[in-house]
Amino acid sequence: MDFEHDLAASVRAVLTPYLTEDQLNNFRVIPASQGYSGTVDFHCEFKVGSATTGLVLTLVTRPAEKQVLIPSIVVPQEMKHQGIGKKMIAAVYAVCNVKGYDLFIVDLVPSFFRRLKNRGARAMSDDVVQITTETKLD
């Protein structure tokens, strides 16, 4: 299995308890046509009432540097406060750790930066943290 497939499988495993089979069938991995080179977007669209909503996780793989960046993680309002975002980060970190990649969350808003730093992430700059074994994502 290739690295992106492993990442997708780990994210899908996190989402399985929260989404119906129909919603999981809408889970797709889309190479981004813009932004960073090596970008992979994970999308899951589903209906909540009459509205279509979605979950988006963007990963940037940098094989030469052995790094993965997360510049975007969007959890719909209906799914917040269930730890899904942290679980997805933890799942991506687990794959990165096995493959020898470093994981960075980038372009952070100040409040999310503080929350991750308080959880033990290593601050790299004002809007970048590195996820490490010391980062508490549970």
Domains contained in the chain, CATH given: 3-107 (3.40.630)
Tens digits of pLDDT across the chain (138 residues):
488 788 888 888 888 887 777 766 666 666 544 444 566 777 666 665 666 667 678 888 888 899 999 998 888 777 788 888 999 999 999 999 999 999 999 999 999 999 999 999 999 999 999 999 999 998
Residue 100 makes CB contacts below 8 A (sequence gap 6+) with: 66
Q: Which residues pair with 54 in a beta bridge?
A: 45
pLDDT at 116: 96
pLDDT at 115: 94
- Tell me the whole-structure pTM to 2 decimals: 0.84
| b/e burial code for range 62-78 (CB count within 10 A of at least 16 → b) | eeeeebbbbbbbebbee
pLDDT at 35: 47
- The Cα–Cα gap between 24 and 55 comes to 11
Tokens of 38: 């090596």
> Which DSSP category does 121 fall into?
P
